[in-house]
Amino acid sequence: MSQASWQQVRSELLAALELTAQEQRERLAVLRAATPAVAGEVEALLAAAKESADFLEAPAWERASADTGSEAAPERVGPWRIEAEIGRGGMGTVYRAVRDDDQYQKQVAVKLVRGGMDAGFVLQRFKAERQILANLEHPNIARLVDGGVTEEGWPYFSMEYVLGQPIDKYCTTLGVRERLELFRTVCAAVQYAHQRLVIHRDLKPSNILVSADGVPKLLDFGIAKLLGADVAGSGEATATVWPLMTPEYASPEQVKGEAVTTASDVYSLGMLLYLLLARKRAYEIKTRAPEEVARVVCQQQPEKPSALTDRPLSRQLRGDLDTIVLKAIRKEPARRYQTVGELSEDLRRYLAGLPVLARGDTVAYRAGKFGRRHKAAVVVAGLLVASLLGGAGVAVRQARIVERYHLRAEKRSRDAQRLANSLVFELHDAFADLPGATQPRALLLKRASEMLDTLAADAPEDPVLAEEVAAAYHKLADVLGSQAEANLGEREAALSARRKGLAIRERLAADAPGDLSRQGRLAESHITMVGALQGLEAVEQARRALLITERLLALEPSSAADQRLWARALYAEGSALVASGDLPAAKASFEKATAAFEALLAAAPKDASRLRGVSMAHKRLAAILAKQGELPAALAHYRKVVAWDEARAAESPTGVEARYDLSVSLVDYGWALARSADQAGAIEQYQRALGIRETLVRADGGNVRARDGLASVLARLGHASIAAGRHRDALAYCQRAEETLGAQTQNRDLLPSIYQARSESYAALRRWDLALSSARTALQLGSASLASEPTNTSFGIRVAWEQLLLGRVLLGLASQPGRASGAAALRQEALAAYREAVRLATDLQAAGALPVDDLPLIDQARAGLARCERLQRSTAHTAGAAVRRR
First CA to last CA across the chain, in angstroms?
147
Kindly state the smallest distance separating residue 53's Cβ from other proteins, in Å: 9
In angstroms, give the least distance from the CB of 361 to other proteins.
39
Longest pairwise C-alpha distance within the chain: 156
Nearer to other proteins, 275 or 711 (CB): 275
Nearer to other proteins, 41 or 485 (CB): 41
* Per-residue CA distances from 18 to 5, 22, 55, 645 (Å): 20, 12, 19, 83
- When the beta carbons of 68 and 753 are compared against other proteins, the nearer one is 68
Print the SS3 string covering 618-650: HHHHHHHHHHCCCHHHHHHHHHHHHHHHHHHHH
Name 347's Cβ contacts closer than 8 Å, sequence gap at least 6: 180, 183, 184, 187, 324
Q: Tell me the backbone φ, ψ of residue 646, rounded to 5 degrees.
A: -65, -40
Residue among 55 and 104 whose Cβ is closer to other proteins = 55
Do 206 and 166 contact (CB within 8 A), yes or no? yes
Residue 478 φ then ψ, to 5°: -55, -50
Helix, coil or strand: residue 462: coil
**Exposed / middle / buried, residue 463 (Cβ in 10 Å: 0-12, 13-18, 19+):** middle
Q: Which positions ≥6 away from 429 have C-beta within 8 Å?
A: none
Q: Mind giving me the DSSP string for 666-696? A: HHHHHHHHHHTT-HHHHHHHHHHHHHHHHHH
Q: 141, 218 in Cβ contact below 8 A? A: yes
Give, as one character, the DSSP assignment of residue 141.
Answer: B
CB of 62 to other proteins, least distance (A): 5
Closest CA to 337 of 365, 366, 357, 361: 357
Using CB under 8 A as the criterion, which residues of the chain lie in contact with other proteins when the complex forms? Answer: 1, 3, 6, 10, 13-14, 17, 44-49, 51-52, 54-56, 58-68, 70-73, 83-90, 94, 96, 115-118, 166, 204-206, 219-220, 246, 286, 288
494/634 Cα distance (integer angstroms): 34
Q: Which of 449, 413, 414, 412 is nearest to 428 (CA)?
A: 449
Closest distance to other proteins from the beta carbon of 580 (Å): 52
Which of 769, 699, 760, 749 shows the shortest CA–CA distance to 727? Answer: 760
- Is the CB of 84 or the CB of 364 nearer to other proteins? 84
Question: Please, what is the minimum distance in Å from the beta carbon of residue 63 to other proteins?
Answer: 3
CB closer to other proteins, 114 vs 179: 114
**CB neighbourhood size of 430 (10 A):** 11
Residue 775 to residue 763: CA distance in whole angstroms:
10
CB 627 to other proteins: min, Å? 56
- Is the distance from CB of 260 to CB of 215 less than 8 angstroms? no
Q: Residue 95 CB, nearest distance to other proteins (Å)?
A: 9
Name which of 250 and 624 has its Cβ closer to other proteins. 250
By beta-carbon proximity to other proteins, the closer residue of 58 and 863 is: 58
Work out how close the CB of 81 gets to other proteins at its nearest, in angstroms, rounded to a whole number: 12
In angstroms, what is the minimal distance from the CB of 41 to other proteins? Answer: 9
Output 122 or 585, the one with its CB closest to other proteins: 122
Closest CB to other proteins among residues 121, 365: 121
805 near 760, Cβ under 8 Å?
yes
Residue pair 222/91 in contact (Cβ under 8 Å)? The answer is: yes
Chain-centre distance of CA 453, in angstroms?
26
Minimum CB distance to other proteins, residue 452 (Å): 52
Nearest residue (CB) to other proteins, 172 versus 301: 172
Nearer to other proteins, 285 or 784 (CB): 285
CB of 51 to other proteins, least distance (A): 6
Q: Output the CA–CA distances (angstroms, integers) from residue 14 to 6, 24, 30, 874, in the order listed.
A: 12, 11, 16, 130
Answer yes or no: are the C-beta atoms of 191 and 339 closer than 8 Å. Answer: yes
Q: At its nearest, how many Å lie between other proteins and the CB of residue 64?
A: 5
Smallest distance from the beta carbon of 82 to other proteins, in angstroms? Answer: 9
Q: Please identify, using beta-carbon distances, which residue of 94 and 445 lies nearer to other proteins.
A: 94
The minimum distance between CB 116 and other proteins, in angstroms, equals: 5
Contact 538, 209 (CB under 8 A): no
Task: Please say which residue, 166 or 463, places its beta carbon nearer to other proteins.
Answer: 166
